[in-house]
Amino acid sequence: MDFVSISVNGTELAGPAEPRNLLVEFLRANGLTGTHVGCDTSQCGACNVLVDGKLIKSCTAFAVELQGRSVTTIEGVAVGGALHPIQRAFHDYHGLQCGFCTPGMIIAALALLQENTKPTEDEIRAFLAGSICRCTGYQNIVTAIQAAAEQMESGNV
């Protein structure tokens, strides 16, 4: 058994882990159940998290690989109890139905808006290539991300 220590949402998360424990398993075993497992085959993006600011699928990385790195999960997106503009836009524009894909979608949107503050509809859809939603048909997810981008740009958050 190895000992893994990862900075998650700015707080040290340390605990025992076997090499075979996936990052998503380590997070969920430590109470962070917002990161979901949809497919476990790298297809759906329900398990999306940021590692040092970069989008990855936490079902396709071992926790031991991320020793000492900095991870952002859906639990770290809202600041001080106030929803992040992306979260609020998903709420306001009905960007979810069952909500299972939503944590992964919001993390993907966060990664996108970090590198492209004004994405077009095509750019949003291309970026979400690895994030699958079985409910919404994506239209309202795209609308929500566009609305969030506008609000974040105008500083009106």
Partner 1 sequence: MYDFEFVGPKTIAEAVDALRAEGSQPLSGGQTLIPTMKQRLAAPTRLVSLAEIDEMKGVQRKNNCIRIRGATTHAEVSRNVKDFPALAKLAGGIGDPAVRNRGTIGGSLANNDPSACYPSAVLASAATIITNSHEIAADDFFQGVFTTALAEGEIITAVEFPVPRRAAYLKFEQPASRFALVGVFVAQFESGVRVAVTGAGEDGVFRWREAEALLSGSFSPDAIAGLSPPADQMMGDLFGTPEYRAHLVGVLTKRAVAAA
CB of 129 to ligand FAD, least distance (A): 9
Q: How far is the CB of 103 from partner 1 (least distance, A)?
A: 14
- Least Cα distance to 144 among 43, 59, 119 occurs for 119
Residue 72 interacts with partner 1 (CB under 8 A): yes or no: no
Q: Which residues have C-beta within 8 Å of that of residue 80, sequence separation ≥ 6? A: none
Position among 17, 96, 109, 113 found at the interface with ligand FES (CB under 6 A): 96
From ligand FAD, ligand FES, partner 1, none, interface partner of 79 (C-beta below 5 to 8 A by class): none
Least distance from C-beta 128 to ligand FAD, angstroms? Answer: 13
With CB under 5 to 8 Å by kind, the binding choice for 83 among ligand FAD, ligand FES, partner 1, none is none
DSSP code of 72? E
Q: Which of 144, 86, 83 is nearest to 114 (CA)?
A: 86
Question: Interaction with partner 1 in 4-23: which residues (CB under 8 A)?
Answer: 18-20, 22
Told to check if 120 binds ligand FAD by CB under 6 A, we report no
Asked if 97 is part of the footprint of ligand FAD (rule: CB under 6 A), the reply reads no
How many other C-beta atoms can be found within 10 angstroms of the C-beta atom of residue 29? 14
Partner residues linked to 3 by β-bridges: 16
Residue 58, number of CB atoms within 10 A of its CB: 27
In whole angstroms, give the CA distance from residue 70 to residue 72.
Answer: 7
User: Given the rule CB under 6 A, which residues bind ligand FAD?
Assistant: 42-43, 130
